[in-house]
Structure 1
Amino acid sequence: MAAARGLVERGRRAATRAARGAALALLTALAGLFAGAPARADLSDDAARVERMWSLSGARVARLPPIFIEHGRVRVVAIDPPPAGAAAVAGASGAAGASGAAGPAGAKAEECLTVVFLAPRTVEFTLEPDSLAGEPSALEGLVHRLRGRDPDDDRRIHSVAGAAAILRCGAAREGLRRVAVEVLSPRGAFDVVVAASSGPPERLESILPERVSGPIAPRGDPGRPAEPGPLDARVARAARRARAEGAPRVVPIDLRASSVGTGQFSVKLSEGCHRLDLMAEVPGAAVRRATDLDAEAREAGTGRLLDRDRSDAPDARLDFCLGEPGVVEVPFLGAAGPVKVVLSDAQWPMPPHVPGYFGARARGNLAFALQRRRAPAPRAQAIAEAVGAQGDTLVPVEVEPGRCYFAAAALVRGEMRALRISVELGDRAARDDAGERSEGAGVAFCSEIEESAAVRVSARGGSPVWVLSVWPMD
């Protein structure tokens, strides 16, 4: 009996080993089967799938050479129907291109022609086929749109998830000799598949279901702009905000705008930093223009732009610093007719130890670099100063371990397109870029054990000359 039980046990173990071996073989076979397919389909794979599925349905299919289009440029692609028994050769050009034949001789009059443009799913574009007889062409429509007119917007086909298709049957195939492609995204690469068939081929949505999206909700109406509120309350709020930020003096000035909501202040301002808040009265009439003030501040005489506000807010705000007293002109527009407009001037004094021997322009720009970074006023003379011009300039500065500093670079003369200041201290670095309309940049840094810092100033523009000042900070 023991021998029989041993034989039975050995048989069970053998059967178990055989079953495990069969399962392992099956898993290996399945792994090999799925390993042959790519884990992620790319643009070329999608185009190959469309080409294969349409070919299996009996259509004559050809793929055009890939194309690449930048935003804002219209590419006109010439389409040739695939000839019977051979792949078609079609070209694409930035102009009209060579127009293809309408179809091979003997083609059926009811034959359909389908063109598919495939791009990455994040690319948005439109297609517009060539015209039928007596209708404006795609190129003519483009000219109309550039001139501000937009006829027959329904002619354009908008992409969905990076794909768009055009189908024409019978005599309407003539309209697919050329297709205008306009990219709405920054740029896009395209694969183009052309098919000629006896009827409409399989829909693109069923071949590439991963590119199908749900319904697109309408944009809706955001409504009228928000009402800014009573003028007196806004003026008082601007004054409280400026005083909370340390402005010792706030001076309001008012005038009445023109009938179209425009006007200009001409104010004499002291040296130091200024914040000008422009606020317009809102009429009580139910039907009126929206209040959206846009303004800019310029030096009288030189016309140099100090600041500009073209935001969508009802009020305008201008920030700048003057190295010496002067007259500033503040033109504005956007008031709701001939209403009262108030200019609230919040004033901060010129920070001490900001040098004036480089000129009033440089002094104001250095002060604005401190004001922009909310840095405290320097309480000692600068430990380092330098003057530079166009390009990158490295200025080594000796520092004391355990102390903090503020470095500012400011334009003295010339025109500035870009200004950057950076400080390298050991393995740490800090930098600041001047704003679009600013002529000063500043950065704070602290030394731990280092005894030197590398200050780099990069200036680009029309013959710019700049000055650098480094102050110790308490």
Structure 2
Amino acid sequence: MARAAVLSLLAALAGVSAGTPARADLSDDAARVARMWSLSGARVARLPPIFLEHGRPRVVAVDPPAGPARVAGAAADECLTAAFLAPRTAEFTLSPEGRSGSVPALEGLIQQLRGAEPEDDRRVQSIAGVAAITRCGAEREELRRVAVEVLSTRSAFDVVVAASSGPLERVEAILPERASGPVAPRGDPGRPSEPGPLDARVERAARRARAEGAPRVAPTDMRASSIGTGQFSVKLPEGCHRLDLMAEVPSATLRRATDLDAEAREGTTGRLLDRDRSDAPDARLDFCLGEQGVVEVPFLGAAGPVKVVLSDAQWPMSAFVPGHFGARARGNLAAALRRRHAPAPRAQAIAEAIGAQGDTLVPVQIEPGRCYFAAAALARGELRALRISVELGDRAGRDDAGENGESAGVAFCSEIEESAALRVSARGGSPVWVVVVWPMD
């Protein structure tokens, strides 16, 4: 009887397990869509998975699935459907090509995605990681190639293609967990905030910088053009800088809103140092220079031909930030220290290394009971992504360079460990990076 009871319990548990739905992943969702469309009589095919990053659109070739109807000649009103499935947090758009005779070249289509909007915008916006396009009859030619552009950082895609005698069941009906309700209309945020008198804002920026330890704040001013644009050209010493750009607000009742956007570039190379395109009235730029140089600061968004002030807060660079890797690397190493609010190094680095594209392991000998700061910085080339991580016993930490950033840094402390494993991952156009580790008191 006991044996029978045990068998009954196991059978019951198996039934509960079988009745519990498994957590679906991306491939499961694509398989469910393909299965439901096949049951409706459609010819279905799944394309190889793809992976895309933001700013790198791709054109996907979509061919009707093979089958008896295709061999015998598809009906004139046959429909072709292409469904792109990504994780629910991904955002992307689909753009079918035009009809034969008006199909843009591949390069033109990608430039169209990156640049100006077309007159007849046929883009389909994803919802909960799903977007699908259906074309019937002669319009099926539009789906021969579909351009996919990721609006989020990056995403993987599963693609399901189906040919059917009529429109198929919507993907949202097959995957109800991805369905979403109506989108609320955009609200009216009201008028932009008034920044206040210029002199008071300049004084506040100087007080804030001095409170953060800046020994020197140097203001410069000019008058913007009639359309609110202009460019500063300033010679700055080595070290870290914060440039606050502030524009005067006209006294006239009817005036354009003040919303300065600006960027800082090296005068000799044109390399971007920082950019501010926020909706705030004033612009702020933070960067570090490994040597003295001229910095160009173009701006726009002033309310006409008004006074614009550039306030330069300066922080000196530690003598222990090495310069033998070049001025660019030195400035980026200082930026990593400042970005992570690390104190200025007071001793020589205990380890230095240089690397290139890919993932690199850098072992470092350390002393138990001491703390350290490791910085990775671009020295040459172009950077798309940079990450530094540290593994110390059962502990780990990491940091990524932000958008337009060229450095990252991580602090760590040893308890009893005598070695740490640094890992640097760099992606881009032939990047050459350096890593430096300083002891911290």
Scaled by the length of structure 2, what TM-score is found?
A: 0.68
Equivalent of residue 150 in structure 1, options 95, 111, 119: 119
- The Cα of 1:51 is off from its aligned counterpart by 6.9
Q: Are 1:415 and 2:397 matched, yes or no?
A: no
Aligned to 1:220: 186
- 2:245 maps to 278
CA distance in 1, matches of 2:293, 2:121: 56
Pairwise CA distance, 1:375: 0.9
Mapped partners of 2:216, 2:327: distance in 1? 22
Aligned partner of 2:220 among 253, 264, 272: 253
1:382 & 1:215 partners in 2: Cα distance?
A: 59
Once residues 300 and 159 of structure 1 are traced to their aligned partners in structure 2, the CA distance between those partners, rounded to angstroms, is 42
- The alpha-carbon deviation at position 421 of structure 1 amounts to 3.5
Secondary structure of residue in 2 paired with 1:89: helix
Contact 1:138 1:180 in 2 (8 A): no
**Match for 1:194 among 159, 164, 167?**
164
Matched-pair contact (CA < 8 Å) for 1:389–1:463: no
1:343 aligned to which of 288, 310, 323: 310
Whether 1:374 and 2:341 are equivalent positions in the alignment is yes
Range moving further from structure 2, 272-281 or 141-150: 141-150
Q: How big is each residue's C-alpha offset from its partner over 1:15-50, in whole Å with a ceiling of 9 and x where there is no partner?
A: xxxxxxxxx9xx99xx89x97x99999666666667
Match of 2:143 in 1: 180
What's 2:76 paired with?
Answer: 102
| Structure 2: runs of 5 or more not aligned | 1-7, 51-56
Query: Unmatched 5+ residue regions in structure 1?
Result: 1-23, 55-60, 81-86, 92-97, 104-112, 131-135, 168-172
Partner of 2:412: 445
Partners in 1 of 2:222 and 2:99 — Cα distance?
54
* 1:63-462 pair list within 5 angstroms: 63-66=43-46, 73=59, 88-90=68-70, 100-102=74-76, 137=99, 140=102, 146=112, 148-151=117-120, 175=138, 178=141, 180=143, 187-190=157-160, 192=162, 194-195=164-165, 210=176, 216-217=182-183, 219-223=185-189, 226-230=192-196, 231-285=198-252, 288-356=255-323, 358-379=325-346, 381-391=347-357, 394-411=361-378, 413-417=379-383, 418-458=385-425
Instruction: Return the offset for 1:328.
Output: 2.2
| 2:375 alignment partner, SS class | strand
* Structure-2 separation of matches of 1:257 and 1:272: 28
Change (3 A) 1:222 1:329: same
Secondary structure of 1:240's counterpart equals helix
Matched residue SS, 1:234: helix
Q: Match for 2:375: what amino acid? A: A
Give deviations 1:177-236, integer Å, cap 9, x for gaps.
Answer: 65638567764533536237xxxx99979x969599687345335456632422334333
Contact in 2 for aligned 1:323/1:363 (Cα 8 Å): yes
Q: What is the CA deviation profile of residues 238-293 of structure 1, one whole-angstrom value per residue up to 9, with x for unaligned ones? A: 22322232223322221111122221112232332110111223344555444332
Whether the 8 Å contact between 2:92 and 2:149 is mirrored in structure 1 is yes
Contact 2:377 2:407 in 1 (8 A): yes
| 1:68–1:159 CA distance, 2 compared to 1 (3 A) | farther
In the aligned structure 1, how far is the partner of 2:386 from the partner of 2:342?
19
**Matched residue, 1:4:** none
What's the counterpart of residue 9 of structure 1? none
1:405/1:225 Cα in 2 relative to 1: closer, same or farther (>3 Å)?
farther
Which residue does 2:438 correspond to in 1?
471
**Is contact 1:400-1:447 (8 Å) kept?**
yes
Structure exhibiting the larger radius of gyration computed from Cα positions: 1
Contact 2:38–2:44 (CA<8 Å) still a contact in 1?
A: no
The Cα RMSD (Å) is 4.9
How far apart are the structure 2 equivalents of 1:39 and 1:432?
A: 31
Q: Per the alignment, do residues 388 and 337 of structure 1 end up closer, same or farther by CA in structure 2, a change over 3 Å counting? A: same
SS in 1 for 2:210: helix
Contact 1:385–1:470 (8 Å) recurs in 2: yes
* Count of residue pairs brought into register by the alignment: 398
Could you list the per-position Cα deviations for residues 450-469 of structure 1 after superposition, in whole angstroms to 9, with x for gaps in the alignment? Answer: 23334444555666555544
SS of 2:69's equivalent in the other structure is coil
Which residue identity is paired with 1:448?
E
CA distance in structure 1 between the aligned counterparts of 2:228 and 2:270, rounded to whole angstroms: 23
Change (3 A) 1:331 1:159: closer
Q: 1:344 to 1:157 in 2, by over 3 A?
A: closer
Secondary structure of residue in 2 paired with 1:370: helix
Secondary structure of residue in 2 paired with 1:331: strand
Structure 1 stretch 453-462 or stretch 443-452: which is displaced more? 453-462
Partner amino acid for 2:119? D
Higher mean C-alpha displacement, 401-410 vs 359-368: 359-368
CA distance in 2, matches of 1:352, 1:308: 28
For residues 85-132 of structure 1, give each alpha carbon's deviation from its aligned partner in whole angstroms, at most 9, with x where no partner exists. Answer: xx85238xxxxxx974538xxxxxxxxx7777667696987798x9xx
Could you tell which deviates more after superposition, 314-323 or 301-310?
Answer: 301-310
What is the CA–CA distance in structure 1 between the aligned matches of 2:179 and 2:388, rounded to whole Å?
Answer: 48
Offset of residue 343 of structure 1:
0.8
Q: Secondary structure at the match of 2:334?
A: helix
**SS of 1:353's equivalent?**
coil
| Deviation string, structure 1 residues 284-314 (Cα, Å, up to 9, x no partner) | 4555444332322233334443323333433
Shift of 1:378: 2.3
Q: From the superposition, tell whether residues 301 and 164 of structure 1 become closer, same or farther in structure 2 (CA, over 3 Å).
A: closer
Q: Distance in 2 between matches of 1:272 and 1:341?
A: 24
